Amino acid sequence: MHILNRHFMTRRQGCIALGGLVLAAMTGQSRAHQSQLYPLEEKKRDKARGRTDSQSSKSKKKDAGIETVIGKIDSARMNETLKALTAFPTRWSKSPTLAQACDFIKQQFIGFGYDASRVQLVEYKLGDGTVGRSVICAPERLDQGFVLIGAHYDSISETPGVSAPGADDDGSGIAVVLEMARIFAGVGLKRGVMFAAFGGEEQGLFGSQAVADQAARDRWAIDVMVNLDMVGFVDPQRPTNIVVEYDMGNKDPKNDAAAKAFGLQMAQHAADYTGMTVEHTDIWSSDYMPFEAKGFPCIGLYDGGADAPFYHTTQDKIAQVDMARLTDVARLVCAFLATTAELKSS
């Protein structure tokens, strides 16, 4: 989590219209803070930013197709991914081991059966000239509506050149992204999904900025960008809680309605397919921000771990990640992708 801070348009226009109806029907605060592209605060979930409880209640009937896909989630495999990521002494953006982590993620996508031509490295440069790469696993077409789901694979600590395990921040997000890529490699969808692992997040969102720049330049048809940044920690003060973030102003207010509609959809899936309760807040200080600035609807999931003592320290180890919680998050994301990317009838 960042220390500082088309074209088949029918789908996106429909989402914006839906979001407008939701906004008209529900109360909520919208803050236009366009003066800064990326907030400069650390991502600590302070009371000043404000959270609201979700109003979603469990549906009377679950979708059998979604439950079938959720049944494919392998918690042990996600745990192995976390072990592999934290086995690198550090994934600091200026460490040579970051390239090894990048290659590990790339090979995971290829191992799931995606054609190597779809697994691409997007280069970025930090402010001091250090070169890094984000990994994207692209859908077959970029000019037809698709969901982008991403997390950052770099890490940081008080001694990042020596040790920065980054288990929750953000090995947890990468573990879910890779598990979704594995599952949906074998699931028929009407719309595409892009899976992304961003580098350079902790230094200022450099990796996601490079991908967002390419998305805007090449006119990618992104329906929604879903960011997973710290999703495996259980806050002892709110043990069932997950924060579903959605855009509330920021750089481009025209994408707010669609973002809220997607955020409420995510909250509904949490009620239907997990044991988690949901709070809502704005997006800020993570890899969705460059995409929001380019006009794409953006939402995110967050566990509250930035308020925990291990945040950005060498203590962000695998023990900080609760596998039952990570599995619940995977269930939530799986249901969202199955709905938004639209499961094909069997």
Please give the full DSSP string across 277-316, using - where no structure is assigned. EEEEE---SSTTHHHHHTT--EEEEE-SGGGSTTTTSTT-
- Which amino acid is residue 238, in one-letter code? R
Q: Which letter, b or e, does each residue of 302-335 get, where b requires 16 or more Cβ atoms within 10 Å of its Cβ?
A: bbbbbebebbbbbbbbbebbbbebbbbbbbbbbb
| Interval 220-247: pLDDT, tens | 999 999 999 999 999 999 999 999 999 9
Task: Report d(CA 276, CA 244) in Å as an integer.
Answer: 11
- From the centroid of its chain, how far is CA 331? 14
Which helix (H) or strand (E) segment holds residue 77: the answer is: helix 75-87
156 burial (CB, 10 Å; 0-12 / 13-18 / 19+) is: buried
| Interval 295-343: pLDDT, tens | 999 999 999 999 999 999 999 999 999 999 999 999 999 999 999 999 9
Domains, the chain, in order of start with CATH, read: 10-24+83-340 (3.40.630.10)
pTM for the complete prediction?
A: 0.89
In tens digits, the chain (346 residues) has pLDDT values of 754 432 333 344 444 444 443 333 332 333 333 233 454 455 555 444 578 887 778 887 889 999 999 999 999 999 999 999 999 999 999 999 999 999 999 999 999 999 999 999 999 999 999 999 999 999 999 999 999 999 999 999 999 999 999 999 999 999 999 999 999 999 999 999 999 999 999 999 999 999 999 999 999 999 999 999 999 999 999 999 999 999 999 999 999 999 999 999 999 999 999 999 999 999 999 999 999 999 999 999 999 999 999 999 999 999 999 999 999 999 999 999 999 999 997 5
Total count of residues recorded for the chain: 346
Sign of CA dihedral 98, 99, 102, 107: negative
Task: Report d(CA 140, CA 208) in Å as an integer.
Answer: 21
Give Cβ neighbours of residue 187 (< 8 Å, ≥ 6 apart): 69, 72, 338, 343
**pLDDT at res. 24:** 35
Q: Cis peptide leading into 170, omega within 30 of 0?
A: yes
Give Cβ neighbours of residue 319 (< 8 Å, ≥ 6 apart): 167
Task: Report d(CA 231, CA 217) in Å as an integer.
Answer: 31
